[in-house]
A and B are shown apart, each in its own frame.
Chain A
Amino acid sequence: MIQFLIGTVWLVPCYAFIGGLLAIPWSPGVIKKTGSRPAGYVNLFMTFLSLLHSVFAFIFIWNQPPQEIFIPWLSTAGLNLTISLEISAVSVGAMVVITGLNFLAQIFAVGYMEMDWGWGRFYSLLGLFEAGLSALTLCNDLFFSYVILEILTLGTYLLVGLWFSQPLVVTGARDAFLTKRIGDLFLLMGVLGLWTLSGTWDYTELAAWASNAEVNPTVITLVGLALVAGPMGKCAQFPLHLWLDEAMEGPIPSTILRNSVVVASGAWVLIKLQPVLSLSPVVSWFIVAIGVVTAVGASLIAIAQVDVKRCLSYSVSAYMGLVFIAVGTQQDETALLLVLAHALASALLVMSTGGIVWNSITQDVTQLGGLWTRRPISGLAFIVGTLGLIAFPPLGGFWALVKLADGLWENYPWLVGIILIVNTLTAISLTREFGLIFGGQAKPMSERSPEVHWPMIMPMVILFGVVLHLPLVLQSLSILPSWATLNKDLVLLLIWSSIFGCSISAVIYLGNIPKPIRLPWQPLQDLLAYDFYTPKIYRMTIIFSVDQLSKFADMIDRFIVDGIVNFVGLFSLLGGEGLKYSTTGQTQFYNFTVLLGVSIFCVWITWPFWKVQFLSLMF
């Protein structure tokens, strides 16, 4: 039985996928009479099934060696594409997180999407996401990871574009698709380049190959950079981060999923590729640099946002930046711990604010306020999410950050400073958001704001409990960093940075300082509020050049290529039009041409005879 559960854990993605397929018939165009709610219930059932299966498999596989399953997919001349699945404690554990979060997000959606007719489409896409993410965690093959990532990119496009009658949704979905596509295409280059070097795409074999590989440093650097570019786009890292901001136009339940697990899909691949990436020090430094820039930049931007969802989305980018730092400094386990802690806390934050948005309508934090007395559960959930994300003992984020800082302290002490800064900034931004939403006086938009109904509160409370219990769970699985070996000064520093950030922000936003807060230097505030003007930068660089280039290519096609062909036609036309005038209608002209022709023919025939005399006459 145990072996059966473990051996068939690859069914988990299939359940979710089947759930997604089963939801489709309840699209308004197919089942026209009874509304689309059963789509959600069917999907919830399938997700629950996959959650149960993965939980039991996780319990049984813990402390057992990883198993591998090989499914041949395609075999052509010289290329055997085999789907290799790794059933290990980590991959099954990740599936538990994915299916669990998806289950909670789907329950949340039952409440949130109550006034919506698009359950068929929404739930089928959620099912697709769950299937893709679960398959990604199981998949032990770079090529099929890429395949899944691309499917998820398409899924993101469709899910962000759920309410496609809104113009901002359409542009947001477009940007999300194209930005992630660019990263994925670079990843494809890297994937193909890696094949020529290593001859394998299996992560295990890649790690074995990388442990004693002799490769040209330039080549492996370029391949490594391409491999990083995919996760960069997926994890919304600078400079490919704008899509996550615009993806906040999608429905909130999908945002729960996106902020917690979808962005982590890139990090997952990055972590899996870490042995290959660490072959080149340049690539490692690149990963760290990207992570540092994103972590600091995005947490600064998050402070300056007024949109609830966007405040959180930039924190997601920042935390993914920390994951990048962890991977760049070869701390895979820390990265996984960070992803786990972030996923749970971030999902809780989005659920809490999603509930606020659901019946306060506005997403503008400056128009919210004074909800603490009326929305205690949402407020507590937000607090716990915040504390679970920043370094606040004993919650998950604390352990992840402590482990990260501890690992960095030996070799990269300045990166510890970055982590402290990011932690402080995140604490400031989340406390600011709490202060603006829950603290202060009620504004017109939030004056009558009842707590949401059970389908949205229940998953929130469950996740609340999970976040609170995460340290206990981690301890029972003995994957917490051991307290004895930790650098206590670092721990204190991290805690102080959190307290500093929270308290300074609480003083500003819960105190009596007049709002809205203005920085002494307005351009800086605008710069952060407008995300370093990233849309403008995109529009001025990439979009402008591609646009001009495509216009130029279009002109070449229209005028030069078409022109040459048309010129041939025009030339024959003009030739006919012009040469018809040789038929003058004058009989004498015809006579003349006959005579001319005959004379030329005669001269030509008798030329050998004439030539001698002609030449002697000339010279």
Chain B
Amino acid sequence: MQLKYFLLLAAALFCIGIYGLITSRNAVRVLMSIELLLNAVNLNLMAFSNFLDSTLIKGQVFTVFVITVAAAEAAVGLAIVLAIYRNRDTVDMEQFNLLKW
């Protein structure tokens, strides 16, 4: 019964992350929203592993991997943001529409 609540919470967190992802003008905040998405996923994985696979807890293993990859990804993401910032002196997402039509 509690699994549902975990999943709902994770979904809510995911949606918040999505909202932040597509509305933020600050590139760092976009990365933060991505972190929110990943953490919502992690919550899901943990909940499933706890309620459906409590013996082998493969979900927890997944979660560890996700956290690791997320850390690397955030690092690379910040590096990209810094690289853009160096060239364009801004982290405003709306200034980055150079590769249009």
CB neighbours (8 Å) of B94 from chain A are 586
Question: Out of B18, B23, B96, B101, which one reaches A587, CB within 8 Å?
Answer: B96
B22 and A588 contact, CB distance less than 8 A: yes
Interface assignment of A591: CB less than 8 Å from any CB of chain B: yes
Shortest Cβ distance from B100 into A: residue? A585
**Chain B, range 35-94, C-beta contacts under 8 Å to A:** 93-94
- Chain B's closest residue to A594 (CB) is B22
A588 touches B98 (CB 8 A): no
Residue pairs across A and B with CB atoms within 8 Å: the count is 31
Q: Does A583 contact B (CB under 8 A)?
A: yes
- Type the 1/0 row for B1-42, where 1 means its CB is closer than 8 Å to any CB of A: 000000000000000001001111000001000000000000
* A566-607 contact mask (Cβ, 8 Å, vs B): 1 or 0: 000000000000001101111111011001000000000000
List B contacts of A581 (CB < 8 A). Answer: 101
Is A588 a contact partner of B21 (Cβ separation < 8 A)?
A: yes
Which residues in B have their C-beta under 8 angstroms from that of A585?
96-101
* Number of A residues with CB within 8 Å of any CB on chain B: 12
B101 and A580 contact, CB distance less than 8 A: yes
Instruction: Choose among B22, B96, B97 the residue that contacts A591 (Cβ–Cβ < 8 A).
Output: B22
Give B29 Cβ to nearest chain A Cβ, in Å: 11
- The reply to whether B101 and A583 contact each other, CB–CB distance below 8 Å, is yes
> Cβ of A587: which chain B residues have Cβ within 8 Å of it?
93, 96
Quick check: B96 and A584 within 8 Å, CB to CB? no
B residues less than 8 Å from A588 (CB atoms): 21-24, 30, 93
Bound Cα distance from A584 to B97, whole angstroms: 7
Minimum C-beta distance from B31 to chain A (A): 12
Q: Bits for A124-162, please: 1 = Cβ < 8 Å to B, else 0.
A: 000000000000000000000000000000000000000
Bound-complex Cα distance A583 to B97 (A): 10
Q: Which residue of A lies closest to B94 (CB)?
A: A586
Q: CA of A575 to CA of B32 in the docked complex: distance in angstroms? A: 38
Nearest A residue (CB) for B97: A585
A586:B18 contact, CB within 8 angstroms? no
Query: Considering the chains assembled together, what is the distance between the CA atoms of A589 and B99 in angstroms?
Result: 13
The smallest C-beta distance from A572 to any residue of chain B, in angstroms, reads 17
* Interface residues of chain A: helix, strand, loop or mixed (majority): helix
CB of B14 to closest CB in A, whole Å: 11
Residues of B within 8 A of A589 (CB): 22
Interface centre among B21, B30, B96, B100 (most CB of A within 10 A): B100
* Bound Cα distance A462, B73 (Å): 119
How distant is the Cα of A588 from the Cα of B93 in the complex, in angstroms? 8
Complex Cα–Cα for A595 and B99 (A): 20
Give CA–CA (A430, B41) in the complex, Å: 117
Q: How far is the CB of B100 from chain A (nearest CB, A)?
A: 3
Residues of B within 8 A of A584 (CB): 97, 100
> Could you tell me the distance in whole angstroms from the C-beta of B17 to the nearest C-beta in chain A?
11
Could you tell me the distance in whole angstroms from the C-beta of A486 to the nearest C-beta in chain B? 101
A48 to B84, CA, bound (A): 105
Contacts of A595 in B (CB 8 A): 18, 22
Give A583 to B30 CA distance when docked, in angstroms: 20
Are B97 and A586 closer than 8 Å at their CB atoms?
yes
**Nearest CB of B to A142, in Å:** 72
- Is A591 in contact with B93, judged by CB distance below 8 angstroms? no
Q: Which residues on A sit within 8 Å (CB–CB) of B98?
A: 585
CA distance A585 to B98 in the complex (A): 6
> Which B residues are CB-close (under 8 A) to A583?
100-101
A581 to B94, CA, bound (A): 16
B21 cross-chain contacts in A, Cβ below 8 A: 588, 591
Interchain CA distance A592-B99 in the complex, whole Å = 17
Tell me the smallest distance from the CB of B74 to a CB of chain A, in Å. 16
Contact partners of A592 in chain B: CB under 8 A: 22
Q: How far is the CA of A585 from the CA of B95 in the complex (A)?
A: 10
Cα of A426 to Cα of B21 in the assembled complex, Å: 106
Which chain A positions have C-beta within 8 A of B93? Answer: 586-588
Tell me, rounded to whole Å, the shortest Cβ–Cβ distance linking A100 to chain B. 87
B101: A residues at CB distance < 8 A: 580-581, 583, 585
Q: Which residue of B lies closest to A582 (CB)?
A: B101
Query: What residues of chain A lie closer than 8 Å to B24, measured between beta carbons?
Result: 588
* Smallest CB gap from A577: residue in B: B101
Q: Separation in Å of the A595 CB from the closest CB of chain B?
A: 6
Shortest distance from the beta carbon of A405 to any chain B beta carbon, whole Å: 93
* Distance A585 CA – B93 CA, assembled complex (angstroms): 10
Q: Which residues of chain A come closer than 8 Å to B97, judged between CB atoms? A: 584-586
Q: Bound state CA distance, A316 and B94, in angstroms? A: 93
Least Cβ–Cβ distance between B11 and chain A, in angstroms: 13
Residues of A contacting B18 in the complex (Cβ-Cβ under 8 angstroms): 595
* Chain B nearest Cβ from A603, distance in angstroms: 15
* A336 to B: closest C-beta gap in Å: 86
Q: How far is the CA of A592 from the CA of B96 in the complex (A)?
A: 16
Quick one: closest A residue to B96, CB to CB?
A: A587
Please report B residues at the A interface, Cβ cutoff 8 Å. 18, 21-24, 30, 93-94, 96-101
Q: With A592-B22, A595-B22 given, name 8 new contacts (CB 8 A).
A: A584-B100, A585-B99, A586-B94, A586-B100, A587-B96, A588-B21, A588-B30, A595-B18
Q: Which A-B residue pairs are the 4 nearest by beta carbons?
A: A585-B100, A585-B97, A580-B101, A588-B22
User: Could you show 9 A-B contacts with beta carbons less than 8 Å apart?
Assistant: A585-B99, A585-B100, A586-B93, A586-B97, A587-B96, A588-B24, A591-B22, A595-B18, A595-B22
